[in-house]
């Protein structure tokens, strides 16, 4: 694997380091995140709810709020139409919890992933109409549902769309209001909210309007109490953890640590997270979110909304157990699918010449496609699209590499497709099964023409080199302030050279546990999937790793997540030989 060291900018780095009394390496790490000025760094280190942009900057906020005020006045029946992933589930639960005291008979609807697919569905709209609903709020969907929104209008239903996905060439659909910071003419300064973030902003706007009308004589509700749901959905959807998202997630993680929601407490318990104490974005991404997603991948996602909105401890425990079991089943299905793909790849002689991977099968479950595609992108360093062939149609999920915008690619190939949607790095599409081969070739041609050959070489982007004493003194104290980590604010990826192996052992399912020493500083490290690495006691190595604060045990301590290992080329340092 290549190690690409980020170029060091001595002028910008020196200026920022001097202004804030930081080490040059830490200053470079901050500059890598687009933080050039002392004010930007201070805001980054101390994100505050007071710095959130005003809700009325979002286009159509006034229309959405006014329509809700009318619904309150006329005592209409309201429904939330969500999505089956963690972003959509948390956004649905968020609106249900806040609006239920105002609309006691509020309903929600989440389509079945296989039977209905993503987004607004005509069967769902019809069912809500039959139950007396006159106003629908979509969350994490709706921006591409022109036909379904027209159907709803013809049925006498009003729809407020809240969404964050890319807007297609068809433009904004015609409906009561559309909240999406990506639309043209929207003055909201931050464009990368998750679906749950857009829904949260609708509540900010509505609460503000209701408060002006004296709707809360005993005091307006504290929206901070709902930030646990906002944090989970935002982290799960892998949107950039910068700007507004960073503020919402940083505050939300604190709420998660002591959340009063019994459903979240039950989910933390089955996920192996302590009932009290700090919760990291990494734990949300790899423990909470997969279990919340599990039902929607294989069964009905509505159980996730029930979990997050129930007041019953027993119901919460039962639902959390089901989610845990379904997550284990999902993991097994994913592994079987990846093994089948490995066999397919071994039989394709031209795979090394291709710059993309498009595969389809009648045996693959639609809910597992995105996960498997992500694993393959990590392994193969190329865009991947996997399809479940279901009769005459094929439904697919794709993941991409840096530098290849998947949504724009699908726009260019829409002649092959029945429909599509998504983002730069992740997207979904469906097409006629007979057209899959033509799509595969067109997709490959587009990747070949669009992406530099360097993008296909597996590589680590290293932010800098540091010795262990410098890591402990100059970087580690700032790790809590740099958190939460995630998209566009990753854990710093660093290199330390001439490190001695003091002990090594294989743990878990092929993982490597090391105790390592450099310049008198001894640290522990874990290398996931590196258990077969040939290392002996006393060997000298160079390490690529991300430092983190481990909360396990009686006191927090610095550890390393090892990403790659190389033998030290120059031999051991003379002062330690």
Q: How far apart are CA 49 and CA 204, in angstroms?
A: 12
pLDDT tens-digit series, residues 19-58: 999 999 999 999 999 999 999 999 999 999 999 999 999 9
Pick the closest to residue 6 from 38, 40, 31 (CA basis): 31
218 to 207, 214, 224, 475, 501: CA distances (angstroms): 14, 10, 17, 47, 63
Please return the burial class of 360, using the count of CB atoms within 10 Å of its CB with bins 0-12, 13-18 and 19+: buried
Q: Residue 4: its pLDDT value, please?
A: 92
Place 492 in a pLDDT band, splitting at 50, 70 and 90: very high
pLDDT in tens, 222-232: 999 999 999 99
The string of pLDDT tens digits covering residues 146-176 is 999 999 999 999 999 999 998 988 899 999 9
CATH code: domain 460-567 is 2.40.50.460
What pLDDT score was predicted for residue 117? 75
Q: What share of the chain is helix, strand, coil (3-state, %, to 5)?
A: 45, 20, 35
Mean pLDDT of the 277-297 span:
91
Confidence bin at 453 (pLDDT 50/70/90): confident
For residue 454, what pLDDT is reported? 67
What are the φ and ψ backbone dihedral angles of 171, each rounded to 5 degrees?
A: 85, -165
Mean pLDDT of 488-515: 95
Residue 524 pairs in a beta bridge with 515, 559
Predicted confidence band of residue 465 (pLDDT cuts 50, 70, 90) = very high
For domain 53-322, is the CATH number 3.90.1640.30? yes
Does 339 score more than 90 pLDDT?
A: yes
> What's the rounded mean pLDDT across residues 194-208?
98
* 141 within 8 A of 82, measured Cβ to Cβ: yes
* 518-538 pLDDT per residue, tens: 999 999 999 999 999 989 999
What's the confidence (pLDDT) of residue 252? 97
Specify whether the CB–CB gap between 45 and 74 falls below 8 A.
Answer: no
- Interval 537-569: pLDDT, tens: 999 999 999 999 987 766 889 999 999 999 998
Q: Kindly state the greatest CA–CA separation across the chain.
A: 82
Average pLDDT over residues 78-101: 96
Average pLDDT over residues 85-102: 97
Question: At 544, which helix (H) or strand (E)?
Answer: strand 540-550
Q: Model confidence at 276, in pLDDT bands (50, 70, 90)? A: confident
Query: Which pLDDT score, from 0 to 100, does residue 574 have?
Result: 46
Are 128 and 109 within 8 A, CB to CB? yes
CA distance linking residue 105 with residue 273, whole number of Å:
34
CA 134 from chain centre, in angstroms, equals: 32
Radius of gyration of the chain (CA): 25
CB 164 within 8 A of CB 140: yes
Domain 348-456 has CATH 3.40.718.10: no
DSSP state of 531: T
Identify whether the C-beta of residue 550 lies closer than 8 Å to the C-beta of residue 480: no
Q: Alpha helix locations (H) across 417-528? A: 436-450, 468-470, 479-482
Burial profile 391-421: b = 16 or more Cβ within 10 angstroms, e = fewer: eebbbbbbbbbeebbbbebbeebeebbebbb
Whether the Cβ atoms of residue 78 and residue 98 lie closer than 8 Å to each other:
no
pLDDT of residue 551: 79
For CATH 3.90.1640.30, the residue range(s) in the chain are 53-322
What lies within 8 Å, CB to CB, of 540 at 6+ separation is 498, 499, 500, 501, 567, 568, 571, 572
Report the pLDDT value the prediction gives residue 576, as an integer from 0 to 100: 35
CATH 3.10.310.30 domain residues, the chain: 348-456
Q: What is the structure's pLDDT at 115?
A: 79
Q: Is 577 a residue whose pLDDT tops 50?
A: no
Q: Give the percent of the chain with pLDDT over 90.
A: 83
Confidence class of residue 432 from pLDDT cuts 50, 70 and 90? Answer: very high
Task: Using a pLDDT cut of 70, give the percent of the chain over it.
Answer: 98
- Residue 139: pLDDT band (50, 70, 90) is very high
pLDDT range class, residue 216, cuts 50, 70, 90: very high
Quick one: pLDDT band at residue 348, thresholds 50, 70, 90?
confident
Question: Average of pLDDT values for 190-204?
Answer: 98
Phi, psi of 564 (to 5 degrees): -160, 155
Q: Which residues pair with 565 in a beta bridge?
A: 543
Give burial (CB, 10 Å; 0-12/13-18/19+) of 276: exposed
Average pLDDT over every residue of 348-372: 89
Q: What is the mean pLDDT of the chain?
A: 93
Beta-sheet pairing, 494-507 with 464-465: parallel
CB 548 within 8 A of CB 565: no
Confidence of residue 571 (pLDDT cuts 50, 70, 90): low
- How far apart are the C-alpha atoms of 238 and 305, rounded to whole Å? 20
Asked whether the predicted pLDDT for residue 93 surpasses 90, the reply is yes
Strand order in the sheet with 384-390: 357-361, 384-390, 393-399, 426-432, 419-422
pLDDT at 357 over 70: yes
Angle, alpha carbons 410-416-420 (nearest 5°)? 40
User: Does position 275 have pLDDT exceeding 80, yes or no?
Assistant: yes
pLDDT at residue 575 greater than cutoff 60 = no
Q: What mean pLDDT do residues 132-141 have?
A: 97
All residues at 6 or more sequence positions from 565 whose CB lies less than 8 Å from its CB, including other chains: 527, 530, 533, 535, 541, 542, 543, 544
């Amino acid at each position: 694997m290549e190690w690409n060291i980020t170029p060091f900018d001595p002028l910008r780095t020196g200026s920022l380091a001097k202004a804030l009394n930081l080490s040059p390496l830490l200053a470079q790490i901050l500059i890598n995140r687009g933080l050039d000025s002392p004010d930007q760094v201070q805001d980054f280190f101390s994100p505050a709810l007071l710095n959130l942009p005003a809700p009325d900057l979002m286009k159509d906020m006034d229309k959405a709020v006014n329509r809700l005020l009318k619904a309150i006045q006329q005592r209409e029946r309201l429904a939330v139409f969500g999505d089956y992933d963690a972003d959509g589930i948390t956004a649905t639960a968020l609106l249900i919890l806040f609006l239920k005291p105002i609309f006691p008979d509020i309903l929600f609807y989440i389509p079945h992933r296989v039977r209905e697919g993503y987004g607004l569905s005509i069967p769902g709209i019809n069912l809500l109409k039959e139950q007396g609903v006159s106003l629908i709020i979509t969350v994490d969907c709706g921006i591409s549902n022109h036909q379904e929104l027209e159907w709803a209008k013809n049925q006498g239903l009003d729809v407020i769309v809240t969404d964050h996905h890319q807007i297609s060439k068809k433009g904004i659909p015609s409906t009561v209001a559309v909240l999406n910071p990506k639309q043209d003419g929207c003055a909201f300064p931050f464009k990368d909210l998750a679906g749950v973030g857009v829904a949260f902003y609708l509540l900010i706007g509505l609460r503000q309007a209701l408060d002006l009308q004296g709707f809360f004589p005993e005091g307006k509700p504290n929206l901070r109490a709902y930030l646990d749901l906002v944090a989970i959905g935002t982290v799960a959807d892998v949107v950039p953890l910068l700007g507004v998202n960073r503020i919402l997630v940083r505050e939300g993680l604190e709420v998660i640590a002591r959340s009063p929601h019994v459903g979240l407490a039950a989910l933390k318990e089955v996920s192996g997270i302590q009932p009290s104490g700090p919760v990291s974005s990494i734990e949300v991404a790899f423990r909470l979110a997969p279990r919340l997603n599990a039902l929607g991948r294989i069964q009905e996602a509505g159980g996730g909304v029930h979990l997050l909105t129930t007041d019953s401890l027993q119901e919460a425990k039962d639902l959390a157990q089901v989610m845990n079991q379904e997550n284990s089943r999902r993991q097994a299905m994913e592994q079987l699918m990846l093994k089948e793909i490995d066999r397919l790849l071994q039989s394709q002689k031209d795979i090394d010449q291709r710059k993309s991977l498009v595969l389809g099968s009648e045996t693959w479950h639609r809910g597992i496609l995105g996960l498997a595609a992500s694993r393959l992108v990590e392994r193969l360093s190329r865009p991947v699209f996997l399809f479940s062939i279901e009769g005459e149609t094929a439904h697919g999920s794709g993941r991409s590499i840096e530098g290849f915008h998947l949504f724009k690619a699908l726009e260019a190939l829409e002649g092959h497709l029945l429909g599509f949607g998504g983002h730069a790095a992740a997207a979904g599409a469906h097409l006629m099964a007979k057209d899959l081969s033509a799509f595969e070739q067109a997709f490959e041609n587009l990747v070949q023409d669009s992406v530099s050959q360097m993008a296909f070489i597996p590589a680590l982007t290293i932010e800098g080199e540091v010795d262990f004493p410098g890591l402990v003194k100059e970087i580690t104290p700032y790790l809590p302030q740099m958190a939460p980590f995630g998209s566009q604010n990753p854990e710093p990826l660093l290199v330390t050279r001439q490190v001695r192996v003091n002990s090594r052992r294989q743990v878990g399912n092929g993982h490597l546990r090391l105790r390592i020493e450099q310049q008198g500083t001894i640290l522990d490290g874990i290398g996931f999937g590196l258990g077969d690495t040939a290392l002996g006691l006393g060997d000298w190595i160079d390490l690529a790793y991300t430092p983190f604060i481990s909360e396990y045990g009686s006191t927090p301590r610095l550890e390393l997540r090892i990403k790659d290992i190389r033998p030290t080329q120059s031999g051991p340092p003379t002062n330690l030989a």
